[in-house]
Chains A and B, each alone.
Chain A
Amino acid sequence: MEKVIMGNHAVSYGIQLARAQVIAAYPITPQTQIVEMLSEFCADGLLDAKFIKVESEHSAMAATVGASFAGARACTATSSHGLALMHEVLHWAAGSRLPIVMANVNRAMGPGWSVWTEQTDSLAQRDTGWLQFYCETNQEVLDTVIQAFKIAETIFLPIMVVLDAFVLSHTQEPVDIPDQATVDSFLPPYEAKFRLQPGDPRAFGGLLAPDHYMEMRYKMQRAMEEAVAVTSQVGAEFGKVFGRSYDVVEKYRMDDAEIVLVTCSSITSTSRVVVDELRTKGEKVGLLKMRLFRPFPFAAVQEALAGAKKVAVVDRNISFGHGGIFAAEIKSALYGGAHHPLIFPFIIGLGGRDVTPQSIRNIVSYTQEHDKPGEDIIWMEVKR
Chain B
Amino acid sequence: MSYDIEERELMYSGHVACPGCGAPMAMRYALKALGENTVVVIPASCWSIIAGPFPYSAVQVPLLHTLFETGGSMAAGVKAGLEARGLKDTTVMTWAGDGGTFDIGLQSLSAAVERNEDFIYVCYDNEAYMNTGIQRSSATPWGAWTTTTPVRHPKEQPKKDMMAIMAAHRIPYTATATVAYAEDFVRKVRKAKNIRGSKFLHVLSPCPPGWKSEPAYSVRISRLAVQTRVFPLYEIENGEKYTINVWPKERVPVEEYLGLQGRFAHLKPEDIQTIQENVDREWEKLVAKARASGQEIPD
Give the shortest distance, in Å, between B69 (CB) and chain A (any CB): 7
Please, how many angstroms separate the alpha-carbon atoms of A198 and B72 in the complex?
A: 20
Considering only residues 29-83 of chain A, those with a C-beta below 8 Å from chain B are 49-50, 52-56, 58-60, 62-72, 74
Residues of A within 8 A of B51 (CB): 203, 206
Considering only residues 43-93 of chain B, those with a C-beta below 8 Å from chain A are 48-49, 51-57, 59-67, 69-70, 72-85, 87, 90
Considering only residues 187-228 of chain A, those with a C-beta below 8 Å from chain B are 196-209, 212
Please, how many angstroms separate the alpha-carbon atoms of A21 and B77 in the complex?
A: 11
Q: Does B135 contact A (CB under 8 A)?
A: no
Q: Is the CB of A196 within 8 A of B59?
A: no
Q: Is the CB of A69 within 8 A of B64?
A: yes
Q: Is the CB of B77 within 8 A of A65?
A: yes
Give the shortest distance, in Å, between B196 (CB) and chain A (any CB): 15
Please, how many angstroms separate the alpha-carbon atoms of A72 and B60 in the complex?
A: 23
Give the shortest distance, in Å, between A67 (CB) and chain B (any CB): 4
Please, how many angstroms separate the alpha-carbon atoms of A323 and B84 in the complex?
A: 45
Given contacts A53-B115, A71-B81, A198-B90, contact A66 B74 (CB under 8 A): yes
Most buried by B among A24, A60, A205, A206: A206
Q: Does A255 contact B (CB under 8 A)?
A: no
One of A54, A74, A205, A206 near B81 (C-beta < 8 A):
A74
Q: Is the CB of A201 within 8 A of B65?
A: no
Q: Is the CB of A66 within 8 A of B73?
A: yes
Q: Does A329 contact B (CB under 8 A)?
A: no
Residues of A within 8 A of B149 (CB): none
Interface of A: prevailing SS: mixed
Q: How many residues of A contact B (CB 8 A)?
A: 43
Considering only residues 241-293 of chain B, those with a C-beta below 8 Å from chain A are none
Interface of B: prevailing SS: mixed
Q: Is the CB of A198 within 8 A of B37?
A: yes
Residues of A within 8 A of B115 (CB): 52-53
Considering only residues 107-126 of chain A, those with a C-beta below 8 Å from chain B are none
Give the shortest distance, in Å, between B65 (CB) and chain A (any CB): 4
Q: Is the CB of B83 within 8 A of A50?
A: yes
Q: Does B41 contact A (CB under 8 A)?
A: yes
Given contacts A200-B62, A206-B54, contact A55 B108 (CB under 8 A): yes
Q: Is the CB of B66 within 8 A of A62?
A: yes
Given contacts A63-B73, A196-B39, A203-B63, contact A72 B81 (CB under 8 A): yes
Residues of B within 8 A of A209 (CB): 53-54
Please, how many angstroms separate the alpha-carbon atoms of A205 and B63 in the complex?
A: 9
Q: Is the CB of A72 within 8 A of B85?
A: yes
One of B62, B64, B77 near A22 (C-beta < 8 A):
B77
Q: Is the CB of B65 within 8 A of A206?
A: yes
Give the shortest distance, in Å, between A89 (CB) and chain B (any CB): 6
Residues of A within 8 A of B63 (CB): 201-204, 206
Give the shortest distance, in Å, between A156 (CB) and chain B (any CB): 16
Q: Is the CB of A198 within 8 A of B61?
A: yes
Give the shortest distance, in Å, between B97 (CB) and chain A (any CB): 15
Q: Does B5 contact A (CB under 8 A)?
A: no
One of A52, A88, A198 near B62 (C-beta < 8 A):
A198
One of A24, A198, A201, A207 near B54 (C-beta < 8 A):
A207
Q: 18 A-B residue contacts at CB 8 Å?
A: A22-B81, A24-B76, A24-B77, A58-B73, A58-B108, A62-B108, A65-B66, A66-B41, A66-B70, A66-B74, A69-B77, A70-B80, A196-B78, A201-B60, A201-B62, A203-B64, A204-B64, A206-B57
Chain B residues close to A by CB (< 8 Å):
36-39, 41, 48-49, 51-57, 59-67, 69-70, 72-85, 87, 90, 107-108, 110-112, 114-115
10 interchain residue pairs of minimum CB distance = A66-B77, A70-B81, A63-B77, A55-B111, A67-B81, A59-B73, A205-B65, A203-B57, A72-B81, A62-B73
